[in-house]
A and B are shown apart, each in its own frame.
Chain A
């Protein structure tokens, strides 16, 4: 799900070759080129920025620090990566990607122009992924000049389809991120008590995750004492006795995200809190039952018709879940129309979250791997309200 973005991806920034080998990326490149050939495209441009870099990381493994990067993949020959960084950062940028040709450039048009010139390539048909959607208008106009005369088409669907089913290496990384998050949330639980400030407890969880080597960590919470406010970043307020706390945390390791959400009760939960959580637990069971191999992602929303309106609206707003991997939220989106069916090898976050004055508050979310036999939880399931003893 969406969280507040940070100004810098500042966690452990490396390419761990034992986890994702160059062979993995070469395999992806072959599949991408097959798709390009099928569509008659002789150059593919894939953009990503520090906020949304899933497609870019899929082709390059590169993670933009605070700006953006553009991968240029010609149908014939090796790809190039144009990174918006000072040139002195180039040796570091090269450590994050398998692509050999990394060009530092102030403007993408210049970097791309140089890469095309080096290849003596004047593309006729150019496929674009996340370029028009994310690149700013000034840079876009520059690219149009560089690509003058070329026919442009959006090829986002090609990469979305290639990313739906995760390889064994990708599955292992989502699992690793999930394991790190579990440890961070366990620390969060231990630190949680009335009187402590939100940001103090969040800081402890974040430190644990960063120690384990994550690139990024996000945590948001919602409190029963402020039912009008949904999940938000932690602030300076102290927690109170008897409060219900919804917490969602996400972390990425080697570019792969996992997300876990839990509900904590500081002391004995009120009857209302218990009722809300019982409802959430029942709904989470229904959600799990609805996500089956061969089913439509839309089917995940079938149970919403049986849910009280206010809770149902809140559930839909937070989303019932989604694919997880190089993006915190990626295809398939559960509960939404899609031509895609649930398939073995997909990594999914399933989420039941509702909050508000009219519906109570509860949160359960977990990462799963889809296998032929059904959903396999990537973490130890914690679906009950977590009680923090007085």
Chain B
């Protein structure tokens, strides 16, 4: 069904226009945006990006033809109403057999050329091999096309990002308010989750760990919080398909001089790396500067695997400027990019410590989205 383009919300009009240009350039007859039901914070979700609806169920796809015609295939018939409400796409089909549905769509829409797959990197082998059999020689990976277009969340996303940042602050505040000696880790994590969910967080890539010497951050266990424990928190609420990440460290009781000294290094690394967040600079420089700080204090070995490698990353679902902040990332920082910078670091004397913030890149530098002070916190029981 050809949609009247004037009825399509403006952000999607722009996406369609860019996609049509890309298809023309690449000689594609259509693009198939695909997602399983597995969601990842570290990827742009192709279906959400093009349709406005988060996928639920085993296979979801959106076919955009070179002419700008759009059709969606979902797997759960009872989910049709939700998808209709969230998406601008009018033609939505329910199909249990995804490959057959795509083959039929391609036939009905008279697509003779190749079909590029956006979301190929996540496509299960069985689905891709099925498409290859159904449309021999006519399917190919096209992740690069949409990933290139999804580098920025867009200024219209700023309100949702700011709200998500406020929610992340509330999540960390819950740790400061609720953490108690004897409380199991998972109960503290439940309080963090509640503080954010009650304010409307739609999801959370969140890990809260309390230990006298952590090696990494991970989902909580049932260990009870002890005096002197270091609590590390990676808090990442989602709102409107956008994520904001906050990484912080708190101590149960007084901060020891040793921990104070080591956390000063974290703060220095954070401060110096944020100075590298400038339009036109290379992403890798953020990591290199961070690593130089730790190296200067004798921790070079701990800047490499199995200890550390990634110094921040893009936050997915609706945009992803680049996957990882690592030394070798040659991508150039652009205005309007949004990503998290975190000098999270394992140090042999203290264990794993966390500090990190999500930044929005403005013309004159980074703007931190959260308000939680960039410091080490002490919690008095």
Contact = CB atoms under 8 A, between A and B. Distances in A.
Interface in B196-219: 197-198, 200, 202-207, 215-216, 218-219
B56 A7 contact: no
B71 interface: no
Nearest to A137: B128
Contact of B203 (A7, A65, A90, A203): A7
Nearest to B221: A14
Interface in B218-235: 218-222
Interface string A51-92: 110000000000001100000000000000000001111111
Interface in B42-63: 42, 54, 56-58
Interface stretch (B14-22, B80-88, B107-115, B261-269): B80-88
Given A92-B215, A232-B82, A3 B56 contact: yes
A210 B124 contact: no
B124 A11 contact: no
Contacts of A89: 216, 218
B157 to A, nearest CB: 17
Nearest to B82: A232
B40 A7 contact: yes
Among B125, B221, B310: residue with most chain A CB under 10 A: B125
Contacts of B78: 230-231, 314, 317-318, 355
B120 A137 contact: yes
Interface stretch (B31-39, B145-153, B252-260, B366-374): B31-39
A314 to B, nearest CB: 7
A168 interface: no
Interface stretch (B2-10, B187-195, B282-290, B325-333): B187-195
Interface in A122-166: 131-141
A3 B54 CA distance: 11
Nearest to B86: A232
Nearest to B202: A233
Interface in B308-363: 308-310, 346
B74 to A, nearest CB: 11
Contact of A51 (B38, B77, B186, B190): B38
Contacts of B129: 132, 137
A49 B124 CA distance: 11
B95 interface: no
Contacts of A317: 76-78
A207 B310 CA distance: 32
B124 A206 contact: no
Interface string A207-230: 100110101000000000010111
B307 A88 contact: yes
B41 interface: yes
Contacts of A107: none
Contacts of B82: 229-230, 232
A117 interface: no
Contacts of B309: 86
Contacts of A2: 37, 56-58, 76, 79
Interface in A2-19: 2-14
A22 interface: no
B194 A204 contact: yes
Interface string B113-131: 0000000111111101100
A207 B184 CA distance: 14
Given A88-B307, A135-B124, A66 B205 contact: yes
B306 interface: yes
Contacts of A355: 78
Nearest to B201: A199
Contact of B123 (A12, A136, A203): A136
Given A11-B189, A13-B219, A206-B194, A51 B37 contact: yes
Interface in B153-200: 184-187, 189-191, 193-194, 197-198, 200
Interface size class of A (residues with CB under 8 A): 35 or more
B305 interface: yes
B341 to A, nearest CB: 18
Given A12-B222, A13-B221, A204-B194, A4 B215 contact: no
Contact of B197 (A88, A91, A136, A199): A199
Contacts of A6: 39, 203-204
A12 B194 contact: no
A178 interface: no
Contact of A210 (B41, B81, B186): B186
A50 interface: yes
B218 A13 contact: yes
A88 B310 CA distance: 12
Nearest to B132: A137
A49 B186 CA distance: 22
Given A88-B306, A317-B77, A210 B190 contact: yes
A200 interface: yes
A143 B215 CA distance: 30
Contacts of B184: 12, 213
Contact of B81 (A49, A138, A230): A230
A202 interface: yes
Given A132-B129, A207-B193, A10 B216 contact: no
Contacts of B37: 2, 5, 51-52
Contact of A13 (B38, B122, B220): B220
A200 B184 CA distance: 24
Among A2, A10, A86, A91: residue with most chain B CB under 10 A: A10
A211 B203 contact: no
B238 interface: yes
A92 B216 contact: yes
A134 B54 CA distance: 19
B219 A65 contact: yes
A8 B121 CA distance: 19
A268 to B, nearest CB: 26
Among B58, B190, B238: residue with most chain A CB under 10 A: B190
Contacts of A51: 36-39
Given A203-B197, A206-B193, A136 B79 contact: no
A90 B308 CA distance: 13
B130 to A, nearest CB: 10
A285 B185 CA distance: 42
Contact of A10 (B36, B125, B197, B206): B206
Given A132-B126, A229-B82, A7 B346 contact: no
21 contacts: A2-B37, A6-B203, A10-B193, A12-B219, A12-B221, A66-B41, A87-B306, A88-B216, A88-B307, A132-B129, A133-B125, A134-B36, A135-B125, A136-B121, A136-B122, A137-B128, A199-B198, A202-B197, A206-B194, A213-B184, A317-B78
Given A7-B40, A318-B78, 16 more contacts: A2-B56, A3-B56, A8-B205, A12-B186, A12-B189, A12-B222, A51-B37, A86-B310, A136-B123, A207-B191, A213-B186, A228-B81, A229-B81, A229-B85, A232-B81, A232-B82
Please give me the 6 A-B residue pairs with the lowest Cβ-Cβ distance, nearest first. Answer: A140-B125, A210-B190, A203-B197, A229-B81, A12-B186, A51-B38
